[in-house]
Chains A and B, each alone.
Chain A
Amino acid sequence: MSRPLEGLRVIEFGTFVSAPYCGKLFAGHGAEVIKVEPPGGDIARAHGPFPRGEPDPEASALFLYLNTGKKSVVLDPREPADRDRLLRLIATADVLVENYRPADLAALGLDYATLAERNPRLVMVSITPFGQQGPYANYLGNNLIAFAMGGQMYITGTFEGGPLKNGGYQADYQGGLNAFSAAMLAVLAAERDGLGQHVDISIQRCMAPILEASIPYYCYLGQWSGIRRGNHMASFIGIYPCADGHIGIHLMPRNWKPFLEVIGRPDLGEDPRFATQADRVAHNDELMAELYAWAATETKHDLYRRAGAGRAPIAFVHTMADLVESPQLNARGFLQHIDHPVAGEAVYPGPPWWMGPGDWDAGRAPLLGEHDAEVLGRLPA
């Protein structure tokens, strides 16, 4: 059968990570996604890693991954003729995904009011660091700034080392995923009511409430202990170096016994210092010393398999090589080999969830302007 978003036309007027990730999820599920790139292309094309380390706008791993299944057209919205084409293109669309600063988009005459006048069914999705309104709406932002202002950075890393963002472009991905979910809600409403709307995604607002219990405890009880704890929330929730990498344990009270069996230390179960979770908290540093000494003797694959069989929540820190070789991910068909005319074949993860056979088809990323003739050649007046 056809994919769930067949028949939906999406224009992606966005750069780098957040809007492209949102657009990628639309494309993979069957929407026609037309990516509008400026002359020279999305800035992600300038970002590596590149095959053989040689920069090539058609071989950026970042671009290749984030733009699977899309069509590419080149338009310069500062040029009146191109701006007119862009407006005519958006008039044909069900969804517009963009991630420009509100003031910059308005300066191009691409505000929602103007677009909705021509296309009242349009769902416009804007992904910005701070949202469309409010005192910081036009402040400049990016992944690092969102990490700071979204509160996730203050609690990551060690106290001494200072606030730390986690790897890659996580704030931008958060924005892209939030935008996709919100956009899909607006698509359902538009198909029901015949009316679109301007969906406003503030990355800061998406990030701030999800710091585990931090916001609930502070708002309700006035309690806050959000210090950076490095790799250990406690001795029994954290990451330890092992002989050939790093392992992670996350032990709830009921996991204590199965854990000790897996690691071959039933004696710790007899130790009154570690009898209950409260005891383990009270003797945190002593337990941590035991666990550091134990973990150093383990190898990650062997331990992980034993933990799986023994139902103990132990994982290991997967490197990219571990992911590509993962028995689990490969058995499930989660890693797909996709060819590209310039970059060649590479391994791509996906889909993010499974709905049924044929419901996801990533496709490959487009060459810059590859679909100019097909898309722009038959634009309605």
Chain B
Amino acid sequence: MSQPLQGVRIVDLTMVWAGPMGTRLLGDYGAEVIKVESPRQWDLLRALGLIPRDVPRWYNRSAYFNHNNRNKYAVSLDLAHPLGRETVLQLCAVSDVLVENYRSDVMDNLGLDYETVRSVNPRIIYVSMPGHGKTGPEKDYVAYGSNVEQLAGLVSISGYEDGEPMKTGFSYGDPMAATALVGAVALALRKRRLTGEGCYVELAQRENLTMFVGEHIVGYSLTGELPRPMGNRHPHHAPHNVYRCAGEDRWVAIACETDDQFRALCAVIRRHDLAGDPRFATAAARKANERDLDPEIEAWTLQRGHHEAMHLLQRAGVPAGAVLTTPELVADPHLRATGAWVEHTHPDAGTWEMEAPPWVLPRTPGHIRLHAPGFAEHNDWVFRDLLGLDDARIAALYAAGVAADTPDESLHR
């Protein structure tokens, strides 16, 4: 069966993480994604690969880039040059979707605003993914990865119990914008089928992530009370925390939601006395006395490995999970058994494992059809086969430096 996005061509003007990961997901499920990079302003992720600069084509070997750009073609075009702008508009004319994640004024300054692109293709779906949005008093403010969750209100409710606000250990807003991009594009494709016309989609990364704290905004507006960081605790349930296990920095999370689960926990750790203790008899009592409960549980977990503790508890019906490190995620028997990691081969980078498409759609499964493109790898295919440019025109693009087969390496030395 053909994939959900088969036949959908995407002009990808995104760089770094949120945009490229999003268009890669679209590619995973069948879209034909054409990544456009300027020879002078190419994707920073190619430089964040920890690859020594004296390795040939080092910019094609970055795993960070290659994970987020598989299932794409690549063409080089300098959009700041009139010839580059003209060529990318020709590409838009034969495409279904354009995605960009520049700062909010960049596409307008390049003369590639929505109205211009629509004038060459009224069916195009044009998606912008700016940090703050394309309108409003803060639209031109600069916001990178970790700023997004600060602006979204998430950091203010994160942190150890009554501690200072705490950032997430990675730039959380980026992959959430990437994930949202797929839903937004799919919605716009359905809308186009209904109306016959394309549309402009604006995905402001801070707004997308603000949706993830929505209950706290509603709650604050109803009560006037500011929520505080509560660590790993839950407003109603206990025990609900991480507990130290045997080994260096190893932990298990335990989160009981019912009396039955708590009794099962007591049985596993052979502490029937706790199950009968009035301090822990009901959910409300356990919540009130959770600080007394934690050391009793940790006395048991300290004697167990984190996987062992999880399995013993889960088999008895207690929600428990080992706190996994990255190497443990890659080795995780469950993720491996379900095909979450797949071996992959790239002509410049070699063979290693990467994540499979994340969602299982059994009738129309995601696939890795293409390795991440080398810089400008598909110039010839795009210029000649897709756009029908003749030799003289292609030569003119190269002569003007608008297209190139290798990037300006001095940019990310």
Contacts and interface: CB of A to CB of B under 8 A. Distances in A.
B69 to A, nearest CB: 11
Contacts of B138: 308, 327-328
B90 interface: no
A213 B29 CA distance: 22
A329 B252 CA distance: 39
A224 to B, nearest CB: 5
Interface string A219-244: 11101101011110100011101000
Contact of B364 (A146, A157, A186): A186
Interface stretch (B81-89, B330-338, B386-394, B397-405): B330-338
A274 B11 CA distance: 39
A319 B253 contact: no
A323 interface: yes
A320 B338 contact: no
Interface of B: 1, 3-5, 17, 21, 25, 29, 48, 50, 62-64, 66-67, 132-133, 135-147, 149-160, 163-172, 175-176, 179-184, 186-191, 193-195, 199-204, 207-208, 210-223, 225-227, 229-232, 234-236, 240, 242, 244, 249, 251-253, 255, 257, 261, 314, 317-330, 332-335, 337-338, 340-341, 349, 352-355, 358-364
Contacts of B332: 149, 208
A140 B318 contact: yes
B164 A145 contact: no
B144 A252 contact: yes
B323 to A, nearest CB: 4
A109 interface: no
Contact of B213 (A168, A210, A347): A168
A308 B325 contact: no
A316 to B, nearest CB: 6
Q: Report which residue of B139, B208, B221 has the largest number of chain A beta carbons within 10 angstroms of its beta carbon.
A: B221
Contact of B136 (A174, A327, A348): A327
Contacts of B219: 48-49, 61-62, 320
Interface string A313-347: 11111111111100111011011000000011011
Contacts, number: 480
Nearest to A205: B340
Given A134-B337, A215-B330, A318-B156, A313 B226 contact: no
A159 interface: yes
Nearest to B221: A347
A331 B184 CA distance: 22
B157 A168 contact: yes
Contacts of A177: 176, 179-180, 183
Q: Report which residue of B170, B172, B204 has the largest number of chain A beta carbons within 10 angstroms of its beta carbon.
A: B170
Interface stretch (A72-80, A193-201, A265-273): A193-201
A119 interface: no
Contact of B187 (A4, A162, A229): A4
A139 B156 CA distance: 32
Nearest to B306: A148
A184 B338 contact: no
Given A61-B219, A349-B217, A154 B324 contact: yes
Nearest to A178: B179
B182 A184 contact: yes
B344 to A, nearest CB: 9
Contacts of B180: 177, 181, 352-353
Given A307-B141, A316-B150, A226 B208 contact: no
Given A211-B169, A320-B153, A148 B253 contact: yes
A361 to B, nearest CB: 14
A193 B160 CA distance: 50
A208 to B, nearest CB: 5
B329 A215 contact: yes
Given A189-B363, A226-B325, A170 B154 contact: yes
A324 to B, nearest CB: 6
B236 A164 contact: no
Contacts of A157: 160, 166, 169
B338 A205 contact: yes
Contacts of A204: 334-335
Given A153-B253, A314-B147, 16 more contacts: A61-B215, A134-B338, A152-B170, A167-B158, A168-B212, A168-B215, A182-B361, A186-B4, A186-B361, A212-B171, A215-B326, A230-B166, A238-B167, A320-B217, A322-B156, A348-B218
Contact of B334 (A135, A151, A161, A230): A135
A239 B155 contact: yes
Given A320-B153, A327-B136, A188 B314 contact: no
Contacts of A155: 169-170, 326
A312 interface: yes
Interface in A279-303: none
A355 B29 contact: no
Q: Report which residue of B25, B184, B329 has the largest number of chain A beta carbons within 10 angstroms of its beta carbon.
A: B329
B222 A61 contact: yes
A154 B167 CA distance: 13
B358 A355 contact: no
24 contacts: A29-B187, A48-B235, A49-B222, A49-B223, A61-B218, A148-B251, A159-B249, A162-B251, A167-B227, A174-B179, A177-B183, A178-B359, A184-B183, A198-B362, A199-B361, A202-B338, A209-B340, A239-B150, A248-B155, A315-B150, A318-B156, A346-B218, A347-B220, A352-B180
A212 B68 CA distance: 10
Nearest to B17: A212
Given A134-B337, A211-B326, A308-B140, A47 B187 contact: no
Interface in A30-55: 46-53
A275 interface: no
Nearest to B334: A136
Contacts of A320: 153, 156-157, 213, 216-217, 219-220, 226-227
A65 B159 CA distance: 23
Contacts of A218: 326-327, 330
A64 B232 CA distance: 24
